[in-house]
Amino acid sequence: MKIKIKLTILTGIVFLLFINISMAQQQGEIDKANKAYMAGFYENAITIYENILKGQVASPELYYNLGNAYFKTNDLPSAILNYERALKYNPGDEDILFNLSVANSKIVDKIDVLPELFYIRWWKYIKMWFSPDGWSFVLVALFSLLFILASLFLLSRSVTNRKIIFAGGIFILLACVFSGIIAWQTWSESKQQNSAIVFTPTLAVKSSPDESSIDLFVIHEGLKVKILDGIGDWNEIRISNGSKGWVKSENLKPV
């Protein structure tokens, strides 16, 4: 029994050492990429950032820095793609939003956005207050507060205090439900790949998934599109003004 316990402890220690060494190596690569970027070696920085991301180590900072490096090399589609990926992790970050708007201002297509109902705009604005992890933290904090209020309610002997605590508990419970919905939505959206960036200089959008079908309109590299459906190696897309059509999947990179 003692031998098994010792082996378990030893395995845990080895695992923690492996994790620490791995994290140190990753941080070393990130520092190397950052130094290359600051020195103006943008291609080198891109290579290192991409290799880090291939190792399944993703964060808004990495995507943001990679987007900046691509922007410096005038690769606008790749810059926009990585800014958009960074926003999935941190949708309210002002630096990411600003750099994305600058990159979008340099692409060919300037397409009007369909107006949204006011409550949809409000809901999107509220979701941008925190990242998906941030909303999860808010939810846990509210549940903890709700538990504390429930304990105080049970311990309190004053009717007045109980009424106040009960009212506060109802408010916190509603806030928990509200935060839970947003936490689930933001997490779900961060995992979806239903939008993409065009990576072909000029792309004709077809009326159907067929090369011989009619050209409906033309879009250009760097434009963000919504993916609606897929058939074989074709995707049905929609652009921000509501126009829809079909393009080859190879011309798109998912966000």
- Which tens digit of pLDDT belongs to each residue from 19-47? 444 455 667 789 999 999 999 999 999 99
- Which tens digit of pLDDT belongs to each residue from 137-189? 999 999 999 999 999 999 988 989 999 999 999 999 999 999 999 999 988 88
Q: Residue with structure tokens 């009007």?
A: 112
Asked if residue 113 is part of any domain, the answer here is: no
Helical (H) or strand (E) element with 29: helix 2-38
Instruction: Measure the CA–CA gap between 20 and 39, rounded to whole angstroms.
Output: 28
Whether the CA torsion 141, 145, 146, 148 is positive or negative: it is positive
Number of domains observed in the structure of the chain: 3
In the numeric block, which tokens belong to residue 32? Answer: 């190397």
Same domain, 8 and 78: yes
pTM: 0.76
Same domain, 152 and 139: yes
pLDDT at res. 11: 52
Residue 220: which domain range?
195-254
Same domain, 142 and 51: no
Query: Which amino acid does the sequence have at 243?
Result: S
CATH of the domain at 34: 1.25.40.10
Chain-centroid distance, C-alpha 122: 19
Asked if residue 220 is part of any domain, the answer here is: yes
Asked if residue 109 is part of any domain, the answer here is: no
pLDDT above 80: residue 122: yes
Can you spell out the DSSP letters for 123-191? HHHHHTTS-HHHHHHHHHHHHHHHHHHHHHHHH---HHHHHHHHHHHHHHHHHHHHHHHHHHHHHHHHH
CB-side neighbour CA atoms (13 Å) of 231: 8
